[in-house]
């Protein structure tokens, strides 16, 4: 068990390692969790994670997107619960089922309205790895799907229409590890609909593709080269074209 202010991270095992639900720190977005994280063995090859989190009226340390709002007294505490395999059969290296519950935090009609609903999501993560030849190179295929049970109305998130937005998300990645010793290359593609509001790696109403190369010079020094492309899935009201982003970086990270 750990308590206080800390990082939580449950990602797919890929070179562009991302998460739909819980990844406090990604790239330059540094967040945190205020609360308690309890890990408990529940079966011979499974363990459970339970994260109880405090949410201030001004928000919390995670990435949460409007119309999530914590002004209601009932939204002070939220819960993340997950079941994760500690051992995996054959080539499978990840199996995980997770639930996020944020009581009284979803302003379905907008933050100006007093109406609030619980925001609840379910995700499934899985991955498999295979050796390629005898040089140590590994191919890892990973994926995640998620569904938000309660979603805001379309007008609340700036879309046309008078019904709820969709709340599905998914990502899939292929990575080659140790193409040469400590040289890795990976590609990830994902889509999150307008009702998916809790990812630090994916904006809601967004489509993303990312190619990343990584070289670990030693355990403390890493260099990464990333190219990322993003666009909006649905056209927001009163706009003429969807937003498109392209960005590129070279980054060196030194741990000490």
Closest CA to 212 of 222, 198, 204, 221: 222
Asked if 78 and 106 count as a contact pair (C-beta separation under 8 A), the reply is no
Question: Can you tell me the distance from the alpha carbon of 8 to that of 40, in angstroms, rounded to the nearest whole number?
Answer: 16
pLDDT score at 183: 97
Q: Is 73 helix (H, G, I), strand (E, B) or coil?
A: helix
Asked if 178 and 132 count as a contact pair (C-beta separation under 8 A), the reply is no
pLDDT score at 116: 92
In the chain, which stretches have pLDDT less than 70?
none
pLDDT score at 173: 97
Question: Can you tell me the distance from the alpha carbon of 226 to that of 244, in angstroms, rounded to the nearest whole number?
Answer: 17
* pTM summary value: 0.92
pLDDT score at 226: 96
pLDDT score at 86: 82
pLDDT score at 229: 97
Residue with tokens 């994916």: 202
pLDDT score at 58: 85
pLDDT score at 115: 87
pLDDT score at 112: 84
Q: Strand 9-10 to strand 46-54: parallel, antiparallel, or no bridges (unpaired)?
A: unpaired
Asked if 169 and 146 count as a contact pair (C-beta separation under 8 A), the reply is yes
């Amino acid at each position: 068990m750990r308590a206080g202010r800390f990082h939580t991270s449950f990602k797919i095992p890929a070179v562009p390692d991302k998460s739909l639900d819980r990844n406090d720190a990604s790239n330059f977005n540094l967040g945190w969790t205020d609360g308690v994280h309890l890990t408990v063995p529940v079966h011979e090859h499974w363990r459970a994670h339970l994260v109880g989190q405090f949410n201030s009226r001004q928000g919390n340390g995670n990435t949460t997107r409007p119309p999530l709002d914590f002004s209601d007294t009932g939204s002070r505490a939220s819960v993340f619960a997950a079941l994760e395999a500690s051992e995996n059969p054959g080539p499978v290296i990840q199996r995980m089922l997770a639930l996020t519950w944020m009581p009284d935090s979803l302003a379905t009609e907008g933050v100006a309205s007093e109406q609030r609903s619980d925001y609840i999501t379910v995700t499934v993560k899985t991955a498999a790895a295979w050796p390629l030849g005898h040089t140590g190179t590994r191919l890892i295929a990973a994926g995640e799907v998620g569904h938000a049970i309660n979603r805001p109305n379309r007008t609340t998130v700036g879309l046309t229409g008078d019904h709820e937005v969709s709340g599905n998300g998914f990502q899939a990645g292929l990575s080659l590890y140790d193409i040469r010793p400590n040289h890795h290359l990976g590609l990830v593609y994902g889509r999150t609909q307008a009702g998916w509001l809790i990812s630090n790696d994916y904006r809601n109403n967004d489509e993303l593709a990312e190619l990343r190369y990584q070289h670990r010079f030693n355990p403390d020094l890493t260099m990464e080269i990333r190219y990322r492309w993003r666009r909006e899935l649905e056209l927001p009201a009163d706009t003429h074209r969807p937003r498109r982003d392209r960005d590129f970086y070279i980054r060196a990270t030194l741990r000490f």
